[in-house]
Chain A
Amino acid sequence: MPGLYELANPVRFERIARPALPWLAGITFVLSALGLYYALFNSPADYQQGDSVRIMYVHVPAAWMALFCYTVVAGASAVGFIWKHPLADVAAKEAAPIGAGFTFLALVTGSLWGKPMWGAWWAWDARLTSVLILFFLYLGYISLWRAFSDKTRAARLAAILAIVGFVNIPVIKFSVDWWNSLHQPASVFRAGGPTIDASMLPALFLMAGAYMFFFATALIQSMRNELMARRCARMQAVDAQAASILVEN
């Protein structure tokens, strides 16, 4: 019999999540449409890169989200591990595949931009390599979750891995400053203000907002799915138990 505490939070979560979802999805749609319009039609071509600069509006927010999602995974893992909060465990578990998707998107779009600009699809420099490591970390985290049938144990062990893997995040962020790499240094979140012209920032921030709301929408929906699946599994277990008692009698 699951404790009341364990049930109370998912129920409260469902009560907030269900009405919030259409709004989140709507905002995601509006921001994506606006962001794409700005990125493709309403922003200038770069003085050096020409129209290829438009790849940046897909690539840079995806890279931000790759780091942000891992931070969410590690943060939720820490909360779940320390306070044994089941909802935090579910959040960590469900944020990881979304983060892996953003990481993959950042790698692919970066590659598409790199070929015409740098002259190579891929270079083994510090930034690219550390983002690739991040992608593998996501895969390891997801695999560890899937390997255990006991969800409570899986949550604790995956949380330990997520927290240990968090050391990679500052390495990614500062790799372009510490090492003499091929990838350019940060343009927006840097000491001394952005080095991107103001006319390019609206498209970038609209896309970043769209990604952020997409993340919230996808995370909440997949958390609902996971909670529902767990409830089904519990009810089936109770059913099976009842059936076996009936058979015995």
Chain B
Amino acid sequence: MSALSAIILRDLQLAFRAGGGSFQAVGFFSIVCVLFTLAVGPDIALITEIAGPVLWTGALLATLISLDQIYRADREDGSLDVIAATSEELALTAAAKAAAHWLSTGLPLILATPLLAILLNLTADAYFPLLMSLLIGTPGLSLIGSFAAALTVSLPRASLLISIIVSPLYIPILIFGAGAASAGAAGDPQFAANLKLLGAATLFAAVTAPLASAVALRSNLD
């Protein structure tokens, strides 16, 4: 396990130090929310109504643009070859990379959400369901996204291709996540059902994505 925690620790250090991806993702998230609000205009009631979906979409897009960085630097400086060659279970290593991505991107996004929610005039009842759904859903985004990053790691420029590959795989998480957020805000009993499906999607991704990532990494490196 020490090897896996070393990978997570190293990725976190890289992400939070100067030039790291964490702050960029949070910045992008804020900009998406602000742009959306400006485009909608001064209709406060409408902004309140779409706040949950906008925050979910913003978090998803911010995750999307950060995916390319998961394996890129490791591939360029050669450490990915070392990791793949010495790793006892490449799937576990891929899971650690996804975990590091969530800790350095997903978690900061969730922490930034309450602040942005104030800008979007989110109602008080809606905070808990929104944060809850993000907490359950964003690990799934990191897992599925790390698979797409592993698929394209040997390509020179892949961020656009990653978006095309990963979007259809993200749709269920977005539907159940945003659905849970708005159902919870309305006091609707479908909150629990949406949250369960969201949890199922993340768990399913936790099983399949590391395995598929490992196979994809091996195919890309040989």
The answer to whether A and B interact is yes
Could you list 19 A-B pairs, sorted by A, with CB under 8 Å? A129-B175, A134-B168, A136-B168, A140-B164, A140-B166, A140-B167, A143-B164, A144-B152, A147-B158, A147-B161, A153-B219, A157-B152, A157-B220, A160-B216, A161-B151, A163-B212, A164-B147, A167-B204, A168-B168
Q: Does chain A have a CB within 8 A of B169?
A: yes
Residues of B within 8 A of A137 (CB): 168
Q: Is the CB of A160 within 8 A of B164?
A: no
A residues sitting closer than 8 Å to B (CB atoms) are 129, 133-134, 136-137, 139-140, 143-144, 147-148, 153, 156-157, 160-161, 163-165, 167-168
Of all A-B residue pairs in the complex, the 9 with the closest CB atoms, nearest first, are A136-B168, A156-B219, A140-B165, A133-B168, A137-B168, A140-B164, A143-B164, A157-B151, A160-B216
B167 to chain A, nearest CB (A): 6
Contacts of A139 in B (CB 8 A): 164
What DSSP secondary structure best describes chain B's contact surface?
A: helix
Which of these, B172, B175, B219, contacts A157 with CB under 8 Å?
B219
Which among B147, B151, B175 is the interface contact of A144 at CB below 8 angstroms? B151
State which size class the interface on B falls in: 20 to 34
Residues of A within 8 A of B169 (CB): 164-165
A213 to B208, CA, bound (A): 35
**A153-B216 CB under 8 A given contacts A133-B168, A143-B161, A161-B165:** no
Residues of B contacting A167 with CB < 8 Å? 204
Please give, as numbers and ranges, the residues of chain A lying within 8 Å of B203 by CB-CB distance: none
Please name all residues of chain B whose beta carbon is closer than 8 Å to the beta carbon of A133 when the two chains form the complex.
168, 171-172
A164 touching B168, Cβ below 8 Å: no
Contact of B167 among A136, A160, A161 (CB under 8 A): A136
Within 8 A of A (CB), among B129-183: 147, 151-152, 154-155, 158, 161, 164-169, 171-172, 175
CB distance from A137 to the nearest CB of B (A): 5
When the two chains form their complex, are residues B151 and A160 in contact, meaning their CB atoms are under 8 A apart?
Answer: yes
Cβ-neighbour of B208 out of A156, A157, A164 (below 8 A): A164
CB neighbours (8 Å) of B164 from chain A are 136, 139-140, 143
B171: chain A residues at CB < 8 Å are: 129, 133, 136
CA distance A164 to B146 in the complex (A): 13
Which of B167, B175, B220 meets A153, CB within 8 Å?
A: B220
Q: Which residue of A lies closest to B154 (CB)?
A: A153
Q: How far is the CA of A2 from the CA of B31 in the complex (A)?
A: 53
Q: How far is the CB of A234 from chain B (nearest CB, A)?
A: 21
- Residues of B at the A interface (CB closer than 8 Å) are 147, 151-152, 154-155, 158, 161, 164-169, 171-172, 175, 204, 208, 212, 215-216, 219-220
Asked if B152 contacts A160 (CB within 8 A), the reply is no
Chain B nearest CB, measured from A116 CB (Å): 28
- Whether A140 and B168, one on each chain, are in contact in the complex, defined by CB atoms closer than 8 angstroms, is yes
Whether the Cβ atoms of A143 and B165 lie closer than 8 Å is yes
The docked-state distance in angstroms from the alpha carbon of A164 to that of B204 is: 11
* In the bound complex, CA of A165 to CA of B166 (Å): 10
Q: How far is the CA of A129 from the CA of B212 in the complex (A)?
A: 25
Chain A residues with Cβ below 8 Å from B152 are 144, 147, 157
| Chain B residues closer than 8 Å to A144, beta-carbon distance | 151-152, 161, 165
A163 nearest CB across to chain B (Å): 8
B166 contacts which chain A residues (CB < 8 A)?
140
Residues of A within 8 A of B168 (CB): 133-134, 136-137, 140, 165, 168
- The CA of A136 and the CA of B155, in the complex, are separated in Å by 21
The interface residues of chain A lying within 8 Å CB-to-CB of B167 are: 136, 140
With CB as the reference atom, state the residue of chain A lying closest to B222. Answer: A153
B150 to chain A, nearest CB (A): 9
A134–B154 CA distance with the chains assembled, in angstroms: 26
**By CB atoms of chain A within 10 A, which of B158, B169, B208 has the most?**
B169
